[in-house]
Structures are given as C-alpha cells and as structure tokens.
Amino acid sequence: MVAGKSLCCICGAYVDASSLVIVRIGEGSFRIECPSPKCPLRELGFVRVAHSSKPKFDVRLSRMFKDWNVLLNGKESCDRLVRDLLKQISSRLRKIVF
C-alpha cells in the first residue's frame, strides 16, 4: 500500500479533515474517528475545547496513527501533514462549537 503524501489510517482509509468523523463525547470533548466503519483502530484521537475569551483546541492524535504515518511518509512529511490536519480539525470544530 502506498499512501503517497497523505495521511492514512492503519486500515488503509485515507484521512483528511473532511472525511473524519467527529463525535461529541461530553461538554467540550470530542472523539476523532476513522471514516472507515471496518477500522480496527477506529479512534484516531481526542479534542478538548477550553472556553475563554478565545476558544482553545487541544487536539491529540493516537500514537499508533502517527507512528503508522511516519513509517509511510517519513518523519518530516508526517509532521507537516499532521500539523495541517490539526489546523483543519480546529477550523472544522470552530463551526461546530460556535
């Protein structure tokens, strides 16, 4: 399997902010899930939202998900792709939360 220069779940599903499933699990808490219903990992990360004058998003991705993508894309490329994904998730959550 060749992922090229995009993030990929261990199940083989390509991952971007628009394909991720974001589920509210509590007040200010969200679970990030793989878009594939057959994924053995399923949970790719969590988000906590801290409310103040400006909302702050603490996004944590699964270690297994990040390590898998480092193997596929290399550390530098993976870091850049993850950073972009985190920005996109934060932007998407701003629309959900507010």
What the block records as the tokens of 90 is 């934060």
Tell me the torsion sign for CA atoms 2, 70, 95, 22. Answer: positive
pLDDT at residue 76, rounded to an integer: 94
Residue 19 carries which DSSP code?
Answer: T
Give pLDDT tens digits along the chain (98 positions). 444 578 999 999 999 888 999 999 988 899 999 999 999 989 999 999 887 677 788 889 999 999 999 999 999 999 999 999 998 988 888 887 66
* pTM, full prediction: 0.81
pLDDT at residue 3, rounded to an integer: 42
AA identity, residue 3: A
pLDDT at residue 97, rounded to an integer: 67
The span from the CA of 70 to the CA of 64, in Å, is: 10
- Helix, strand or coil, per DSSP, at residue 95: helix
